[in-house]
Amino acid sequence: MSKLDDLFAFLSIPSISAQREHAADVENCADFLVSKLASLGFDASKHLTTIHPIVVAKSPSVEGKPTLLIYGHYDVMPVDPIELWESEPFTPEIRDGRIYARGASDDKGPIMALIHGVQEILAEDGQLPLNVTFLLEGEEERGSETLYEFIKDPAVQKMLDCDVIVVSDTGMADINTPTFSYGLKGLCCFEIKVSGPAMDLHSGLFGGAAPNPISALCEMIASTRDANNVVTIAGFYDGVMPIADWERQSWSRVPGMSDRELSALTGSRALRTEKGYTGAECVYARPTFELNGITGGYQGEGSKTVIPTHATAKISCRLVPGQDPQRVMNCARKHFEKVCPPSVTMEFFDGHTGEAYIIDPHTNYGKAAQRALENTFGTAPVLLREGGSIPIVAAISKTLGKDTIFLGLDLPDARIHSPNENMRVEIYEKGIELTKNLLRLMGEE
Ligand SMILES: [Zn+2]
């Protein structure tokens, strides 16, 4: 099938990993990939897990050449709110040069570009310039639970043995700016609950005397940062990798990432960055302490003069290389225990964690990937670290002991995870070109 037909067939399968009623679709999607890769001569198989299958496909062996492991995910996010889609999410449609469908950019478009790059090399040269293994999972959007287990098996590690790993599941600065990402942020999430009176109280009969848990929670949270927007939790910044001079220079040139542009992009009146750092530096390389939700008391119509029994906050920290997620979470817990007023009690709930990831972008494989980007797009790539987290990638990299290179094709307006997700046809075609350049240049290493 043509490169667009293949992509459309892939996008038509509603492989939503989070929703039980789509389990059969997720499995069909794995079967689709197995048969596509087998048709290219790959030894392709579907590995069943307790949740969704993992697809592994190995190219015929090319003696004396390195092995490239390509990781991607074939599952997609749910489509809600469906009414905001201008076309059916699983009936791909091209409008104004963009392919609209759930998964177009995250991550089916990039995966099919990689597969068709391989297919075109095979058609042109009869064989690949190096060994290629695909590792495609169906649970990325729900936490990659079974893949963490899968890679613990020594037989699997042997099957996935490689020289370098490539992932195309990250962002691209803009359509004219190829992007080489060499780091990801880590993450730790937690929740605190502050409890005061045993029952909701009348704010006139008891106000001014009884403790208010919402006020207590607000004071506790306010104590986590100072006027310079520096986090004041003891130990929070321990081990944080400093930003190198070349990184500051490189990041100051990333399109769309100046403080003025970031302010406009976020629809904010002004940025609020840690003192001494630009917005781009904070996004790429400074740890953050972010409130994701705060609740307590009466939220209904009109007023209700009440002192509530409790208040809660959901918090996540994005972490950088050098920080241990569990340790940061412990520091936060200690901080809140220390600042919790004696009139209320606090409970602290650990959430999930993931480690940050970074490689040296100037290795031979790193330089080969940068040349591949430059040859494809006609201009040198920007080098940056991702503000987001893909914890499974850090785990795969660490388990196999090999670097992961991120060649993102998601444009800022690709609407990933949102209604009207799309990928420009031009970027899909460039992704195929990039794959061919990448494989040929890496084959020379
Ligand atoms: Zn993705």
Rounded to an integer, the average pLDDT of 95-107 is 98
Side-by-side strand order, sheet with 345-354 = 288-296, 310-319, 186-195, 345-354
Cα(104) to centroid of ligand 1, in Å? 10
Cα(75) to centroid of ligand 1, in Å? 8
Cα(361) to centroid of ligand 1, in Å? 22
Cα(5) to centroid of ligand 1, in Å? 22
Q: Percentage of the chain with pLDDT > 90?
A: 96
User: What is the pTM (predicted TM-score) of this model?
Assistant: 0.88
Cα(398) to centroid of ligand 1, in Å? 20
**H helices present in 151-278, as ranges:** 154-159, 213-222, 245-251, 259-265
Q: Which residues surround ligand 1, an ion (CB under 5 A)?
A: 106-107, 169
Residue 400 corresponds to which tokens in the numbers above?
């196999």
Rounded to an integer, the average pLDDT of 96-104 is 98
Question: Side chain identity at 387, as an amino acid letter?
Answer: G
Burial 83-117 (b: 16+ CB within 10 A, else e): eebeeebbebeeeeebbbbbbbbbbbbbbbbbbbb
pLDDT digits (tens, 9 = 90+) for 155-186: 999 999 999 999 999 999 999 999 999 999 99
What φ, ψ does residue 164 adopt, rounded to 5°?
-155, 155
Cα(140) to centroid of ligand 1, in Å? 7
CATH top-level class of 186-240+287-354? alpha beta
The separation between CA 389 and the C-alpha centre of its own chain, rounded to angstroms, equals: 4
Residue 324 corresponds to which tokens in the numbers above?
């241990």
| Nearest Cα residue to 427 out of 444, 440, 413 | 413
For residue 391, what pLDDT is reported? 87
CB 12, CB 87: distance < 8 Å: no
Question: Where along the chain do its domains lie?
Answer: 3-184+356-443, 186-240+287-354
Cα(139) to centroid of ligand 1, in Å? 10
Query: Is the pLDDT reported for residue 265 higher than 90?
Result: no
Please list the residues that pair with 348 across neighbouring strands.
192
Cα(336) to centroid of ligand 1, in Å? 34
Q: How far apart are CA 405 and CA 179, in angstroms?
A: 11
Cα(329) to centroid of ligand 1, in Å? 26
Length of the chain: 445
CB 318, CB 208: distance < 8 Å: no
Cα(331) to centroid of ligand 1, in Å? 31
Cα(30) to centroid of ligand 1, in Å? 16
The percent helix, strand, coil of the chain (3-state, each to 5) is 35, 25, 40
Q: How far apart are CA 164 and CA 443, in angstroms?
A: 11
Q: How far apart are CA 28 and CA 15, in angstroms?
A: 8
Cα(168) to centroid of ligand 1, in Å? 8
Cα(105) to centroid of ligand 1, in Å? 8
Cα(423) to centroid of ligand 1, in Å? 13
| Nearest Cα residue to 177 out of 411, 443, 417, 423 | 411
Cα(106) to centroid of ligand 1, in Å? 4
Residue with tokens 């031009």: 426
Cα(12) to centroid of ligand 1, in Å? 17
Query: Is the pLDDT reported for residue 445 higher than 90?
Result: no
pLDDT digits (tens, 9 = 90+) for 315-354: 999 999 999 999 999 999 999 999 999 999 999 999 989 9
Cα(299) to centroid of ligand 1, in Å? 35
Cα(432) to centroid of ligand 1, in Å? 18
For residue 142, what pLDDT is reported? 92
Give 266's pLDDT tier (boundaries 50, 70, 90). Answer: confident
Q: How far apart are CA 104 and CA 85, in angstroms?
A: 14
Cα(417) to centroid of ligand 1, in Å? 9
Cα(113) to centroid of ligand 1, in Å? 14
Cα(252) to centroid of ligand 1, in Å? 26
What φ, ψ does residue 326 adopt, rounded to 5°?
-65, -40
Rounded to an integer, the average pLDDT of 177-201 is 96
Look up the CATH superfamily of 3-184+356-443: Zn peptidases (3.40.630.10)
Cα(390) to centroid of ligand 1, in Å? 8
